[in-house]
Structures are given as structure tokens and as C-alpha cells.
Amino acid sequence: MPFKLAMKAPRPLSDEALALIARRFAVLAEPTRLRLLHALFAGEKSVNELVELTGGTQANVSRHLQTLAHAHMLGRRKEGLQVFYAIADPSIFKLCELVCGSLEKSLNKQAEVFAQ
Amino acid sequence: MPFKLAMKAPRPLSDEALALIARRFAVLAEPTRLRLLHALFAGEKSVNELVELTGGTQANVSRHLQTLAHAHMLGRRKEGLQVFYAIADPSIFKLCELVCGSLEKSLNKQAEVFAQ
DNA sequence: GCTTTATATGAGCATATAGTTATATACGAG
DNA sequence: CTCGTATATAACTATATGCTCATATAAAGC
């Protein structure tokens, strides 16, 4: 029973589907979580490493990591006392690339207004 | 002075850039706004049409349209009493495609757990 | 000018969420 | 077993945001 949905399908999307998609974007709509993802672009890291790299508190970092893991964006493995997280969803890379691109355009559009 | 940024650049992203990117995702992290975008995938529409298509109140729809327009995701033109909105940022299509794809995977992954 | 229509926006309320403090739990070393 | 370390989580607070109601503003017709 594979689950199939597409935003550009002509059929209407259910409220449930929209909520799920929105939730997906919401997970990424948070600077701290983006900071964590960015740190993990370089490869798997422990919670402690991420705490140091992002400058956040251990509790806060842990909470955000949980959110990302529950969304299956991160994979998690434990080794003794340490827990390691890594990017588990490759589409994250493409997503961020797209958003940065359209953000650049948006900013350039704003810059044009000032240039006039 | 073109503005250039990329999520996968090895240089650290400023807090400002992360906030802007997060804000970008936040605009999409809302079912009503997704519903509006979905309706506009079919082409330009007036506010009133969007109110009917989405079943939202005029006030709420108008407010969300403003958010999307301010983010340069929608373009806006006025004709007499009516205002028409249309998708202005083509990367929206690709964005939603990517998110739907990874959401499917995430749901299928969950379905696997139940299948066992 | 007056009335109607279409849209944007102010103000208020309810809910969600980020960050913090404190602490529970698991793991490892002595 | 005790103590220290690493991480997750409960509880609380402050802030942001979605939605609604009311209304301001613009445009069109008579």
C-alpha cells in the first residue's frame, strides 16, 4: 500500500494532506533546526558536537533534533553514552538549494527597488 | 550588487540568512496558504474566486494572500474592483514536488513499521 | 452624491511553539 | 556500588501566528 500524493495533481488535496505538507515545511521553518541541518551537511555528528557547533543549549538542541528525527529528516544511532545524528532525507539538500535560490531572487527584487 | 547565498556552501551562514530562509519555509508551513497556492497552480484568480475555492473567509484569505505576495511568491494586479493573484515564483512548484516526495517516503516508512 | 461591491486591515482572542531550568534515565569508569 | 557524563524530557514562560469580527478604503454604477 504505497502512499502517493503530488501537489500538482489536478485532484483536490485533502485537508489532512495539506496539514502534513504544511507540517513538513514547519519543521524547516526554524533557524535553530536549519543551523543543525547545516552542521550535519558535513556528516554525522553527536549531540554534544552539535551543541558546540550551534551554540545552543543541550536541552534545546536535543529537542530540535527530536523534531527532525521524528520527521524522518534525520537518522539516529546510539553508541554507548553518545547519540549520533545524520541527514536521512537527501531531498533536504535540494529543498534548501531551491529556497536559497528563490530567496536570492526575492532579495534581488527588493534591491532593484532601492536601486531606482 | 547581486545577493548570493547557498545552504550547501562550506562557509557558515549568518543568523540573518538562516532567519530569512526559515521565514521562507514558514510562509509555506500553513495549510490555508498551501490551499491557495494549490488553487493558483491552475492559473491566475481573483480574491473572490479564491475565497470560494478554498472555503475560507474573505478576511483570512486576503491576509494570507498578502503574506504570499510580500514573500514574492505571488504576483498581484488590480482591475477595477477586483484583485488578481498568480504564482510569481516558479520554484514553488518544484518545492512542493520535493516535499510531497519526501513526505511520501516518510509515510511509507511509517507504513512499513505497521506492516511488520 | 449615494449605494453597492471587492478587498485590505485593525483589534482581539485562542493556540502553538521556541527557549529555559530542572531533572530523569542510561551508560561507563573506578 | 558510586560518581560523572551524555542525552532526553517535563514544566513553565514569552512570543508568534492563525482566525474572526468589524470596518476602512477604493472602484463602479445610477
Do A83 and A50 touch, CB atoms closer than 8 A? no
For an interface test with B, the pick among A25, A64, A68 (most B C-beta atoms closer than 10 Å) comes out as A25
User: How many Å does it take to go from CA A60 to C1' D4?
Assistant: 22
Residue A82: Cβ within 10 Å count:
11
Question: Per the CB < 8 Å rule, is B34 touching A20?
Answer: no
Q: What is the mean pLDDT of residues B60-72?
A: 96
Strand C: positions under 7 A of a protein C-beta atom: 5-10, 17-23, 26-28
Q: B15-89 is classed in which CATH architecture?
A: Orthogonal Bundle (1.10)
The domain limits of chain B are 15-89
- Nearest CB neighbour to A31, from listed B15, B93, B109: B15
Q: How confident is the model at residue B4 (pLDDT cuts 50, 70, 90)?
A: low
Residue B24 vs residues A80, A105, B28: alpha-carbon distances, Å: 38, 12, 7
Q: Tell me, what's the pLDDT at A104?
A: 77
What is the ipTM score, two decimals? 0.85
CA distance A71 to A84: 16
Residues with Cβ within 8 Å of A97's Cβ and at least 6 positions away in sequence, in order, are B6, B7, B8
Is the C-beta of residue A67 closer than 7 Å to nucleic acid chain D?
no
CATH class (in words) of the domain with range A17-89? mainly alpha
In this prediction, residue B47 carries a pLDDT of: 97
Nearest CA in chain A to B37: A7
Give the residue with greater pLDDT, B85 vs B107: B85
Q: Test A18 with B34 for CB contact under 8 angstroms.
A: yes
Q: What is d(CA B64, CA B27) in angstroms, rounded to the nearest whole number?
A: 9
Give CA A112 to chain center in angstroms.
30
Tens of pLDDT, residue by residue over A10-38, are 345 678 889 999 999 999 999 999 999 99
